[in-house]
Structure 1
């Protein structure tokens, strides 16, 4: 099988992975942090700003893959502190409409590039 991948020109990779892999009906998107933007400002301590940037990065890759937030069926959110859950949620809900995608949100010890939030998605082509 040859992997069909998608890459956004304004998002960087912090390791050996593709931004997204096409699996036919589904597209799997790698996690994005605010620091994966090629022109990322320092948003340390600003969870709302970091969450917006995660979605900006994801939306850029989604555009390359030909899907939108309406096609998202699953979201995984990783936070370095659950104290940031409400601030992340306030931004998160602006990117989706009901019925919302399935979601998991977990706290992790740390994230790449010293990010405080990372978001990954799965989209199903309509």
Structure 2
């Protein structure tokens, strides 16, 4: 199957050797998003809530550029440098997703790019 590279200015541009997303058939693989403001490419540092929301907004923008939405997310991976923020992620996630929720993993990590406290990636299945 041919691959389609997904790009949007509404999410941060890739800061390495990767694409924002790659579509193969009806499946879209979204690269990890950290809380970078797409306009400034600076890390959002206001609060943990602001960081989590920025990551969800970035994922949403890439999903929409691929012709989908967060409702099409089949699998979500969440990486946190402090797992004490897990409840906050759940609270905010409930504002971006509705049932049936995607499959998900939440993983504690030692560090993330640019000193971010949260990163997420996702797999979408388009209808």
Report the TM-score when normalising by structure 2.
Answer: 0.90
What is the Cα-based RMSD across aligned positions, in Å?
Answer: 1.7
Residue 38 (structure 2) aligns with:
37
Number of aligned pairs? 126
Residue 26 (structure 1) aligns with:
27
Report the TM-score when normalising by structure 1.
Answer: 0.91
Segments of structure 1 that go 5 or more residues without pairing to the other structure are none
Counterparts in 2 of 1:51 and 1:58: CA distance versus 1, 3 Å: same
Q: How does 1:71-90 map to 2 (within 5 A)?
A: 71-90=72-91
1:14 and 1:36 in contact (8 A); partners too: no
Q: How does 1:1-126 map to 2 (within 5 A)?
A: 2-10=2-10, 11-35=12-36, 37-39=38-40, 42-44=43-45, 46-126=47-127
SS for the counterpart of 2:18 is: coil
